[in-house]
Chains A and B, each alone.
Chain A
Amino acid sequence: MAATKVAAAKVVPLNCVAPEQVLALKEPTKGFLCPLSANIYGIDFTEFEVKDCDSGEVVFSIRKDPTGPAMPSAPLDLDPELEAQFRTIQYTFPASFLRFKTVRTALTFRVGPEPLSNFRMIERHYFKNKLTRSYDFNFGFVIPNSTNSWESIYDMPKLTEAQVREMVDCPYESRSDSFYFVNDELVMHNKAEYAFEL
């Protein structure tokens, strides 16, 4: 009987973070669940834009030089504090963002010479360490050496004026963890912190 049990157990490598684990997270992680070096596919985000779906108002837009180096040259022996800074993006959005009904995000990324199967993004959003929203999107297959774009629309939670004020008054208490998986293996983990300005 015991032998059958062992045989039935799924063999998972040590320190392996599964999508189900991050989907169960209830607060921001303390550190990063994978090292920078886990990104063996050279996944590189080159453009990101956030706008209001109804008015078209752009609240955030960044574009990297597409002819620049594929990966930002972060040394592998980065000081942990510096690494945390490097992997955490701080955004400042206008407070009007909190009143948008529907938000459109556009992301462009490229990958290296290896194909990616089952590429999936899970994003957990928190305010004051409480889970507010969670997104899960499966890109599926990614073609080697390709540049791809992903535009999505999200319905935003309806906030009361008191909630909007609280979020404005507490800059960077709005946080998110973005996890990227290839074949259920965590290859990237980034953090973001948000401030809202009146």
Chain B
Amino acid sequence: MGLLTIIKKVKQKEKEMRLLMVGLDNAGKTTIVKRINGEDTSTISPTLGFNIKTMQYKNFRLNIWDVGGQKTLRAYWRNYYEQTDGMIWVVDSSDLRRLDDCRAELHGLLKEEKLAGASLLIFANKQDITGALRPEQIAKVLQLDLMDGSRHWKIVGCSAVGGDGLLTGFDWIVSDIGTRIFMHE
């Protein structure tokens, strides 16, 4: 009976997932996290550090690390790679001017050894804005076909403000990590 309790405890602990949210500044990372958690998204200011949020999602406890995307902060991203199960890369699909910058930062991230095993969800955000590129177009501009074949990834169009696409994205990354990490249950 004692052993059973121990096993159960270990499993409960295992049900935690660490997600890293990154992307250029003003991509909508914090808005996505607040929106998925059912919070007010009308007053969000630029993240000048990190926002950590724990939330219950299906049977998992998600620890979401949303790190600021301003240029001066990007050099610090690498401090948050450790133990990351999944990363969510958020793109402002209407900011065409900075898509090259966005691609360079993403491919830099993909070279990181500590993130090699992490599932990757790309949110093509701001689909509600006229002139925004569709997810397929974003995939092309970001050259996602150049990614290592072993990477689990998916691109999903979304609108953080309206909420469209967010559940599709989160459902995918949570179940992808779930089957990868907790498949022995």
A interface residues, Cβ below 8 angstroms from B? 110, 139-143, 145-153
Given A152-B54, A153-B54, A147–B49 Cβ distance below 8 Å?
yes
In contact, B49 and A151 (Cβ under 8 angstroms): no
**A146, chain B: closest CB distance, angstroms:** 3
Which residues of chain B from 12 to 59 have any CB-CB distance to chain A below 8 Å in the complex? 48-56
Distance between Cα atoms of A141 and B20 in the complex (Å): 14
B51 contacts A141, CB within 8 Å? no
B48 and A147 contact, CB distance less than 8 A: yes
Please count the residue pairs between chain A and chain B whose beta carbons lie under 8 angstroms apart in the complex.
45
> Cβ of B99 < 8 Å from any Cβ of A?
no
Q: How far is the CA of A139 from the CA of B65 in the complex (A)?
A: 10
Task: Report the Cα distance A150→B50, complex, angstroms.
Answer: 8
B130 at the interface (CB under 8 A from A): no
Chain A to chain B contacts (Cβ below 8 Å), 19 pairs? A140-B80, A141-B79, A141-B80, A142-B49, A142-B50, A143-B49, A143-B79, A146-B49, A146-B68, A147-B48, A148-B50, A148-B51, A148-B52, A150-B51, A151-B52, A152-B54, A153-B55, A153-B56, A153-B61
CB of A141 within 8 A of CB of B54, answer no
Considering the chains assembled together, what is the distance between the CA atoms of A71 and B31 in angstroms? Answer: 30
In the complex, per-residue mask of B64-92: 1 if CB is within 8 Å of any chain A CB, else 0: 00001000010010011010000000000
| A145 (CB) vs chain B CBs: closest residue | B48
Selected from A143, A147, A149, the residue in CB contact (under 8 A) with B52 is A149
**B interface residues, tally (CB under 8 Å):** 16
Contact, CB under 8 Å: B80 / A146: no
**Residues of chain A contacted by B53 (CB below 8 angstroms):** 150-151
In the assembled complex, the CB of B134 is this many whole angstroms from the nearest CB of chain A, namely 33
- Closest A residue to B54 by beta carbon equals A152
Bound-state CA distance A22–B55 (Å) is 27
Closest beta carbon of chain B to A124's beta carbon, Å: 20
**Known A140-B79, A140-B82, A141-B80; contact A146-B55, beta-carbon cutoff 8 A:** no
Q: B67 — nearest CB in chain A belongs to which residue?
A: A143
What is the minimal beta-carbon distance from A137 to any residue of chain B, in angstroms?
A: 9
- For A151, list chain B residues within 8 Å (CB): 51-54
Please give me the 5 A-B residue pairs with the lowest Cβ-Cβ distance, nearest first. Answer: A146-B49, A141-B79, A148-B49, A151-B53, A149-B51
Chain B residue, CB-CB nearest to A109 = B49
In the assembly, what is the distance between CA of A140 and CA of B77, in Å?
12
Across-interface contacts of B48 in A (CB, < 8 A): 145-147
Chain B residues within 8 Å of A150, by CB: 51-53
- The digit string for B115-137, where 1 denotes a CB below 8 A from any CB of A, is 00000000000000000000000
Chain A nearest CB, measured from B11 CB (Å): 16
In the bound assembly, the distance between CA atoms of A143 and B74 in angstroms comes to 10
A150 to B68, CA, bound (A): 14
| Given A143-B73, A146-B73, A150-B51, 8 more pairs with CB closer than 8 A | A139-B52, A140-B82, A142-B50, A143-B50, A147-B48, A149-B52, A151-B53, A152-B52
